[in-house]
Structure 1
């Protein structure tokens, strides 16, 4: 596949992933607002980054923040760790960010 087509496809996949995560997160936040006892565990997680460059890291941080129920809080000085607050933490929160948004951002910008 030509590089331009591959990159356009990567952006479409990232957009679709964001739309799906947005819809799922809105649903979860709405349920939490209507039934606060539903929130089981919230907290801050450290997400080790494999992304390089300000643009890639900023895009990832913004995708996380724009998804309801999660917020990017801080980037380590060495740019190797992004700290994220999640409303509903699970054991695979970090893995979901890495295998979802981070992987797709990397495909778009590399």
Structure 2
């Protein structure tokens, strides 16, 4: 426990960065023509939750049925999240350190297989 008055606040070391408190994940929609953004979904968790779990929770949230594409960084990428995307109407663009993935649902599992191939 980091603080008796905040029992859910946790400590996390991610890479070389240490943080105490909570983690917050936001889902924002963008209107590029109007240069406008709107937060549609948020989730606050203990600081120890992984980005993959945040991504999974977002895909399970009611808001996921109301959007058709997602842009995320590679930290949210996992085989289970790819399977959920493949079984939905979503397309996703994911940037990792090594490459940019941009695929519709029909190719999501093929991309996952290519990534996990020896």
> Same fold per TM (> 0.5)?
no
- Name which structure has the greater RCO, CA cutoff 8 Å, separation 6+: 1
- Which structure features the higher share of strand residues? 2
Q: TM-score, normalised by structure 2?
A: 0.27
- Which structure features the higher share of helix residues? 1
| Structure with max Cα Rg | 2
